Structure 1
């Protein structure tokens, strides 16, 4: 495997593994939402819980803050992974009708012209956003909510950094697919999941799928 594709694979690891690990946050998120709803809506549970000495840890305001904190972290950590596996929303009205190589060119153009400038701009303002939250000692809008809000806001930096790494590794693979030799072309094609079609009409040096053969016997 070429050095450039090895580098892409190394970059790929971080957004992919962190995104997969972050997906497990859905379980505590569901558990907290269910606990919050049940203990608020059933009177004897609400009254009984309020008499506990450690009720301040699980009061509804803290639980509701924690719910949106976890939801935000889960979303931000999944951006990069979602792009790598092509799980994000695409409106392929025209692109899906193009050949695989043309789709790759459109994707690379979009990443260079739109995705990279956007992500760098968002990261710049995310840093200002988090720094302001930290210096101001921002906490919950409620007196009994979760304090140190800059911690959850810092995941805007982590999340968009992971998205940038996912874009970077995709651009490397697209360049290898479009302009690399036959082996680089094949390896990059195997790792890319951006295509709306499975066949490569403009394959490198005969890199196309074999034609289907019919096993239907003719009528006598």
Structure 2
């Protein structure tokens, strides 16, 4: 179990590193949104970029709007793993909130094995199909002046699945140590896991 905990730490670190890096994309995203609004709402700037589109065949506004949802998608997909590790997502199971941590761990362990991993495999496979079709078709923006190479942004679905898989397996290894390991391994895993509702925590 010690080896599993060490591997979980490595997977955790990779997933969090990607999530932290992706989170910084919110900065250029905000600037793009502000710049796009200014170029469309301030008359003399809007007229300048309209003429630019006529002269060069590129619509700055369309490109910026495409890039905005591209960055939204990348941020979402690359931070799923970090969000799960940090228990930042919404849990709606009211029954789970009132049971002891060991039963919470069993529910999480079984849920990851029976639901999360099969779902992740299905999404990864479907994502691969979508990326392949997009590449073969040379898919681009719906707008003639938008961003081409739509398969690049769709490829982040696969990358996001990989990052989320790192988080899921890190949690699985820690849960295994928590449930089946020695007392020392149990405590190390408990300290690393963030899935528990400590409002109702009782000493085990």
Q: Residue 14 of structure 1 aligns with which residue?
A: 14
1:58 Cα offset (Å): 6.0
8 Å CA contact 2:99, 2:200 repeated in 1? no
Q: Distance in 2 between matches of 1:184 and 1:110?
A: 22
Query: Which runs of no fewer than 5 residues in structure 1 stay unpaired?
Result: 204-220
8 Å CA contact 1:177, 1:184 repeated in 2? yes
Residue correspondence of structure 1 range 108-127 to structure 2 within 5 A? 108-127=109-128
| 1:106 partnered with 2:107 | yes
Query: Which runs of no fewer than 5 residues in structure 2 stay unpaired?
Result: none
How many residues align? The count is 203
Pick the structure with more helix per residue. Answer: 2
Q: Distance in 2 between matches of 1:114 and 1:202?
A: 29
8 Å CA contact 2:52, 2:58 repeated in 1? no
8 Å CA contact 1:80, 1:165 repeated in 2? yes
Q: Residue 94 of structure 1 aligns with which residue?
A: 95
Q: Residue 40 of structure 2 aligns with which residue?
A: 40
Structure showing greater relative contact order (alpha-carbon pairs closer than 8 Å, 6 or more residues apart): 2
Residue correspondence of structure 1 range 121-160 to structure 2 within 5 A? 121-160=122-161
Residue correspondence of structure 1 range 2-81 to structure 2 within 5 A? 2-52=2-52, 59-81=60-82
Aligned with 1:154: secondary structure? helix
Q: Distance in 2 between matches of 1:139 and 1:10?
A: 37
Q: TM-score, normalised by structure 2?
A: 0.94
Q: Residue 211 of structure 1 aligns with which residue?
A: none
RMSD: 1.8
